[in-house]
């Protein structure tokens, strides 16, 4: 076991890992941050998405040791400082962008990554950006609507079919 340190949601953390320990396992098992969900563990579903040094990554496909020294933001770091829901989280709630909720942490992290570089995406851009996040409830229309609402756009006519 090797001791590694990194910054998670603004706090300095450290823990013991093996070479094969994934970032997702480090967050969940070592740090107890279980908001990061493991849906497939095969790099396909995106439920485990977090930000590593500002970039969206699938934490099940990054070695914890490779992320050592970096800055991670997980779903637990997305709420406002006063504990209320962030704009993105509130939009998911408002527009029913979740059903079972399992994919939601990854969807929120992917949305935050998109809006950082593209504050007013089109519907097509949102759908393209969410290609790596699977919702097995198939609730995509409302997810897309929530993302567009979080960007401050009028969603009354979008994804209505």
Partner 1 sequence: MHNFDFVKPATVADAARALSADGAQALSGGQTLLPTMKARLAQPSVIVSLTGISEIKGVCAVDGGVSVGAATPHAVVAAEVGKYYPALAKLAGGIGDPAVRSRGTLGGSLANNDPAACYPSAVLASAAVVHTNKRKIAADDYFQGMFSTALEEGEIITSVTFAIPEKAAYVKFDQPASRFALTGVFVAKHKGGVRVAVTGASNNGVFRWTEAEAALSASFAASAVESLTVSAEDMISDLHGSAAYRANLVKVLTKRAVTAAH
* Least separation in angstroms between CB 26 and partner 1: 13
d(CA 90, CA 152): 12
* Least separation in angstroms between CB 18 and partner 1: 5
Who's near 74: CB < 8 A, 6+ residues apart? 8, 9, 27, 33, 35, 36, 50, 59, 105, 109
Quick one: 51 or 95, whose CB is closer to partner 1?
51
For residue 9, count other CB atoms closer than 10 A to its CB.
19
* Least separation in angstroms between CB 61 and partner 1: 5
Quick one: 138 or 156, whose CB is closer to partner 1?
138
Quick one: 11 or 20, whose CB is closer to partner 1?
20
Residues of the shown chain interacting with partner 1 in the complex, contacts defined by CB under 8 A: 2, 18-20, 22, 41-44, 46, 49, 52, 55-58, 61-63, 65-66, 110, 113-114, 129, 131-133
Quick one: 2 or 93, whose CB is closer to partner 1?
2
Q: Strands 11-17, 49-52: parallel, antiparallel or unpaired by DSSP?
A: unpaired
Quick one: 96 or 136, whose CB is closer to partner 1?
136
Give CA 66 to chain center in angstroms: 19
CA neighbor of 105 nearest in space, from 37, 154, 39: 37
* Least separation in angstroms between CB 73 and partner 1: 13
Structure tokens belonging to residue 143? 């997810």
Q: What is the rounded radius of gyration, in angstroms, for the C-alpha atoms of the chain? A: 16
* Least separation in angstroms between CB 106 and partner 1: 9
């Amino acid at each position: 076991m090797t001791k590694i340190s990194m910054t998670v949601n603004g706090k300095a953390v450290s823990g013991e890992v093996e070479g094969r320990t994934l970032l997702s396992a480090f967050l969940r098992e070592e740090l107890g941050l279980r908001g990061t969900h493991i849906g497939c563990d095969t790099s396909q579903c995106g439920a485990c998405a977090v930000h590593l040094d500002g970039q969206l990554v699938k934490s099940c496909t990054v070695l914890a040791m490779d992320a050592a020294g970096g800055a991670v933001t997980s779903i637990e770091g997305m709420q406002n400082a006063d504990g209320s829901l962030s704009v993105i989280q509130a939009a998911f709630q408002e527009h029913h962008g979740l059903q079972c909720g399992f994919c939601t942490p990854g969807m929120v992290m992917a949305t935050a990554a998109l809006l950082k570089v593209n504050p007013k995406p089109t519907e097509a851009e949102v759908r393209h950006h969410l290609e790596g996040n699977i919702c097995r409830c198939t609730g995509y229309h409302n997810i897309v609507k929530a993302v567009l609402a979080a960007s401050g756009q009028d969603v009354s006519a979008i994804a209505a079919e």
